[in-house]
Amino acid sequence: MDEGALFPPDSDLDLSFTSCASTTATTRTFTSSSPRTSLTLSFNENRLSTTSTTTTTHEHRRPHRESDPHWSAIKAATNLSCDGTLHLRHLKLLRHLGTGNCGRVFLCRLRDNDHANFALKVVDRDSLTDKKLSHVQTEAQILSSLDHPFLPTLYAHIDVSHYTCLLIDYCPNGDLHSLLHKQPGYRLSVESVRFYAAEVLGALEYLHSLGVVYRDLKPENVLLREDGHIMLSDFDLCFKADVVPKLENRTHHHKVGSTKKRWRQRHRKPDEVVTEFTAEPTTAFSRSCVGTHEYLAPEVVTGNGHGNGVDWWAFGVLIYELLYGRTPFKGESKEATLRNIASTRGVRLHATERVEEEVGMAEAMDLIERLLVNDPRKRLGCVGGATEIKQHPFFNGIKWPLIRNYRPPLVARKGKAHVLVDEGEESHPWTI
């Protein structure tokens, strides 16, 4: 059968819906229930000239997703294509999912398959500044290299006319930001936080092993797949650096912070020498001021330049927000928030609120204290990466190689997301 009878030509598609004409930096939103947008400062305002390019598609098969039925759907569609590649005409847009700094995201399906849902990020290159265009190119490059269960798969990269389209995984359960605001007090249980933090940590570890500094960690960018596991999104603010993998012996002193002296003494373990593998971009450096206000690290706010430590700072802020329903340095305005972050007084833990309520809260607060250290040279993770963070008592009992097989605390029932925490278990309620 002629392909034209099955799919309309790309020239007949109305792509005007993808236009994002704004070229100014997005501002921080402080409404508690609304998603927070990232900012980009000091970018070039020059417009790009209109160009037309031939549609190209690049499939990126990855070992851990080889059995994914979405790949089978993609292969079936390309087999029907006269040139063996995927085009926009093979896709059917269902609805708009959201708008970001550089483009819009749509839920879509293949026209000949009603069972495989995808997210299509569409960017109008003519509406972008040179700086934002470089962000789009960076995101496409990074997505093409990812192969991890907690990171998106790039199924196709399509350039047609002045549009760039990235076909990735669709996450029907929303994100941690929306989930958080459905909970009493806008906060999750300690065990739920431990689960989501562990998966985010695994994703950051993988990115850093590739030399990628994420720079945009926040609940809005932690999406929830259909099975309840997480997927980080939005890689347009990333930057890449060299990374040298290391295998070295370290002496573990099992030292924790000063949140609870009696707790620290009771849980102190004997020192031991272990061989550790780390792949952390410790030489990464950038002076760009990008990110979300409440998640910016002090070195970003002061403009002194930053590296891989910004992700570990943001990781501490994320854990804090999931536990308390707010970020630790939030002020009455953007400026007040930034002043609080740059202050040398350190993190303000609300220890009286939850410390005695749940098992694991003391460990959680200690981890936050060690992540939210103003000096990145002393911040947990900046040298030893995720390897040393995994050894913190907050994550005790987690079988890291099996993390993707744990049952998530979030399950979908009748189209609604619920957080379920088994009662009567003092340790991880999620099971394999």
Could you list the active site residues?
216
Q: Cβ–Cβ contacts within 10 Å for residue 412, how many? A: 14
The CA-CA-CA angle for residues 45, 216, 384, to 5°, reads 130
Percent helix / strand / coil, the chain, rounded to 5: 35, 20, 50
CB of 158 closer than 8 Å to CB of 57: yes
Q: DSSP 3-state assignment of 411?
A: strand
CB of 53 closer than 8 Å to CB of 302: no
- Three-state SS letters, 132-149: HHHHHHHHHHHHCCCCCC
The CA-atom distances, in angstroms, between 304 and each of 300, 345, 364, 371 are 7, 19, 29, 19
- Distance CA(52)–CA(161), nearest Å, equals 4
Among 398, 393, 3, 35, residue whose Cα is nearest residue 233: 35
Sequence-separated (6 or more) residues with CB below 8 Å from residue 119 = 97, 105, 106, 107, 108, 167, 168, 169, 170, 171
For the chain, counts of helices (H) and of strands (E): 12, 15
Q: DSSP 3-state assignment of 314?
A: helix
C-alpha R_g of the chain: 22
Q: DSSP 3-state assignment of 419?
A: strand
Kind of pairing between the strands at 91-99 and 104-110 = antiparallel
Q: Tokens 């206000």, residue?
A: 293
Ramachandran angles phi, psi of 34, nearest 5°: -100, 145
- Distance CA(35)–CA(234), nearest Å, equals 14
- Distance CA(39)–CA(76), nearest Å, equals 40
